[in-house]
Amino acid sequence: MAKDSRSTLVSLAVNPVTLLGVVLTTTGGVLWLILTALEIFDTVNNPYVGILLFGLLPAIFFAGLALIPIGIWWRRRQMAAAGRRVEPLAINWQNPAWRKLVIVFTVATVANLIIGSSFLLAGVHYMESNNFCGAACHVMYPENAQYRISPHSNVDCVACHVDEGLGGFIQAKTNGTLQLIHTVFNSYPKPVPTPVHNLPPVEHMCLKCHSVNQNYGSQVIVRKGFAEDDGAATATVLNMHVGGGANNKGAHGAHLNAVTMEYASDEKREKIAWVRMRRADGSVREYATPDWNAGKRTGLETRTMSCVDCHNRAAHSFESPERALNQAMVLGRIDHTLPGIRKRGIELLKATYASHEVARQQISTHLADYYVKNHPAVAKDRAKQMDQAAAALYDIYSRNVWPQYNLTWGSRVNHLGHNDSPGCFRCHGGDLTSADGLQITQDCSVCHEAVSMDEKNPEILKTLGLAQQK
């Protein structure tokens, strides 16, 4: 034998493809180790580092790994084609050089396996992080912005969006991959479509933390604000009947206690044509629109009613301009004594801007212009309050309206209520009747006592001791 097999392998390995493979693998591996260390010590906090760590670097690493044998194989073919004698890569344990090579190879493979599998594990873990779902994936910025100010801001996205078990895992990963491809090619529908068709069943979602057996009784909801004409303090006060558990009154009492409700609607669930209520005692009652009864049923889907048919905005509760502005004024972020601020504020919030940046500038200049023109004394003496108001208005605008994703006021309907969208009135609105002529109730007080509706300084606030509170 002219040369031993090891040097044959070495000479085979010295080819551009294999060398490129070695360089890629080492670069990918080393950069990954460094970035991982930085991540562990929390020095970088950027969602794109995640994509680099769990997307790009592993791709480089594995591509390099694959190139190494490809290069060797290619070189062998080349040499054979050139008529050069290629020694078979026979293992010869007697040869110390061979033994060394095998040990080096084994150690390298084990190291690669460890690095490779931690890539995979970390990648899977990262893809379940809120950073990946909400921050690296652009089209979900709006959902993420609302999520962060929702009561569920500490609940991971995957707790609600990914079902338990292997099925949910595989579904989430295939969806996630498709979504990632859409995002990379910027081909994602904007805004992201709702309803989410593959939301887990509520038993695996909301009911991990909440219970249908809880009696919430009646709850006083107080929404304060300021009148548009004279800026006087106003309040809407509802005594909302929620019930549930042993209490079969109210929204939970009527809908969750031993009742199954199915309904048929358009895909967006905004127009409901038929409802069937089945009680535990077996009694059934159906309500339908005249169209449904006349057999016009195309394009309708049937679903079983659950938590998210009312609480569809539990984690992403986009606001209405009026309610958001009232809240900012009640909290003092916008000085309610600025003359005309409520009317002008709503106009500025509802205006159309090309982007967030344009909105930020124009809200500020248009508000200033308004005061210079109509209330010069305010413009002169209360510049600070004006700036604060402009900043707060921009804040409201930018978390609710996203021109780049075609998302504006009202794009995301909230089914809990009936003021900004039909909500409860999709069924309770009087369009549906039963065969014996009954309607689903529209009686205000069955759902809530409307104690005060935008009344100025209502007496009830003093009675409840809430007049001075935010």
Residues 303-332 that bind ligand HEC (CB under 6 A): 305-312, 314-316
Q: Which of residues 432-451 bind ligand HEC (CB under 6 A)?
A: 440-444, 446-448, 450
Phi and psi for 240 in degrees, rounded to 5? -90, 125
Task: Calculate helix-pair angle for 341-350, 383-400, nearest 10 degrees.
Answer: 40
**Contacting range for ligand HEC; rule: CB under 6 A; set: 87-95, 171-179, 256-264, 390-398:** 256-264
Would you count residue 458 as binding ligand HEC (CB under 6 A)? no
Nearer to ligand HEC, 208 or 343 (CB): 208
What are the structure tokens assigned to 176, written together?
């996630």
Amino acid at 35: L
Query: Cβ 422 to ligand HEC, closest distance in Å?
Result: 9
Residue from 57, 101, 127, 133 in contact with ligand HEC (CB under 6 A): 133
Q: How far is CA 109 from the centre of its chain?
A: 40
- Based on the shown chain and the rule CB under 6 A, indicate whether residue 453 belongs to the binding site for ligand HEC: yes
Torsion of CA 206, 210, 214, 219, to 10 degrees: -80
User: In the complex, what is the shortest distance from the CB of residue 248 to ligand HEC, in angstroms, rounded to a whole number?
Assistant: 8
User: Which of these ranges, 16-24, 105-113, 179-187, 423-431, lies near ligand HEC under the rule CB under 6 A?
Assistant: 423-431
Q: What are the contacts of 320-324 at 24+ separation with CB within 8 A?
A: 320/409, 320/410, 320/419, 320/420, 321/346, 321/349, 321/350, 321/396, 321/400, 321/409, 322/225, 322/346, 323/223, 324/349, 324/396, 324/400
Cβ nearer to ligand HEC, comparing 232 with 453: 453
Residues in 274-293 that interact with ligand HEC by CB under 6 A: 275, 277, 285, 287
Nearest to 452 by CA among 463, 441, 468, 443: 463
Q: Which of 65, 127, 251, 393 binds ligand HEC (CB under 6 A)?
A: 251
423 binds ligand HEC (CB under 6 A): yes
- 300 near ligand HEC, judged by CB under 6 A: no
CA trace torsion 39, 41, 46, 48 (10° rounding): -10
DSSP state at residue 433: B
Minimum CB distance to ligand HEC, residue 74 (Å): 45
Q: Binding residue for ligand HEC (CB under 6 A) from 428, 451, 458, 461?
A: 428
- Name the minimum Å distance from CB 263 to ligand HEC: 4
Give min distance, CB of 189 to ligand HEC, in A. Answer: 10
Number of residues interacting with ligand HEC: please give it, by CB under 6 A.
Answer: 78
CB of 144 vs ligand HEC, minimal distance in Å = 5
Encoded one letter per residue, x for contact with ligand HEC by CB under 6 A and - for no contact, window 138-167 reads --x--xx--x---xx--x-x-xxx------
Rg of the chain over Cα atoms, rounded to whole angstroms, equals 32
Q: 391 with 310: CB under 8 angstroms? A: no
CA distance 112 to 61: 9
How many other CB atoms are found less than 10 A from the CB of residue 56?
14
Nearer to ligand HEC, 31 or 145 (CB): 145
Ramachandran region of residue 42, left (φ > 0), alpha (ψ -120 to 50) or beta?
left
Helix (H) or strand (E) holding 360: helix 356-374
Q: Least separation, in Å, of the C-beta of 23 and ligand HEC?
A: 37
Distance between CA 366 and CA 344 in Å, rounded? 9
Which residues within the stretch 398-417 sit at the binding site for ligand HEC (CB under 6 A)?
412, 416-417
Least separation in angstroms between residue 276's CB and ligand HEC is 8
CB of 54 or CB of 405, closer to ligand HEC: 405
Look-up of token digits 């199954």 = 260
Select the span of 85-93, 214-222, 288-296, 364-372 touching ligand HEC (CB under 6 A): 214-222
237 near ligand HEC (CB under 6 A): no
Footprint of ligand HEC on residues 77-116 (CB under 6 A)? none
Q: Minimal CA–CA distance to 301: which of 261, 265, 260?
A: 265
Site for ligand HEC in 175-194 (CB under 6 A): 192, 194
